[in-house]
């Protein structure tokens, strides 16, 4: 039975687990011998980040950032705020931003530009969800779990006003 305000399950818990396993294998092979730094933009990416890191079978490091562009809306405001910066230097490092969803691309575009100025050896993007129909900025992920249509989704870390993050699946939000 779907939760209140979940119109339907878009991606099931088992589909997520299978794709996270595949992405973990790809990243393991790509970064073998490179001690990559995985960057988690808080808060939405936490579930995906934790599950993905458990599937990466090489030495690596992690760090966190807090960025925001949504406030209390279901649509990105376009105004990017850095609320918490990295605690480590990424200069010369192989870095991967692990994102929950790329929508307009505004937030991630600004974040990537900011991090590129710190001279990493490489900077890639791994996203669980990609919504290219909404893209405003020229930005493509290097690794993508699922491409989805223009729907407002919740669950598996993604929220509406801090609710629904704990759903084990990705659902389509309905305000009815």
Instruction: List the catalytic residues.
Output: 103
In order of 31, 34, 37, 166, the CA distances from 89 in angstroms are: 18, 16, 10, 31
40: nearest Cα among 59, 60, 65, 21: 65
Phi-psi region of 34 (alpha: psi -120 to 50; beta: other; left: phi over 0): alpha
Handedness of CA 7, 5, 52, 84 (dihedral sign): positive
């Amino acid at each position: 039975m779907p939760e209140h305000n979940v119109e339907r399950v878009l991606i099931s818990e088992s589909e997520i687990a299978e794709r996270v396993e595949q992405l973990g294998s790809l990243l393991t092979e790509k970064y073998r011998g490179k001690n990559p730094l995985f960057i988690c933009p808080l808060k939405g990416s936490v579930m995906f980040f934790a599950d993905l890191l458990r599937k990466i079978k090489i030495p690596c490091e992690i760090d966190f950032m807090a960025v925001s562009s949504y406030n209390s809306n279901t649509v990105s405001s376009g105004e990017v705020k850095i609320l918490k910066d990295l605690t480590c230097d990424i200069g010369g490092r192989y870095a991967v931003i692990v994102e929950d969803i790329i929508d307009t691309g505004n937030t991630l575009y600004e974040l990537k530009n900011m991090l590129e100025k710190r001279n990493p050896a490489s900077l890639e993007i791994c996203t669980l969800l990609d919504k290219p129909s909404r893209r405003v900025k020229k930005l493509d992920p290097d690794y993508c779990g699922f491409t989805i249509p223009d729907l407002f989704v919740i669950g598996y870390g993604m929220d509406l006003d801090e609710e629904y993050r704990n759903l084990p699946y990705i659902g389509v939000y309905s305000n009815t």
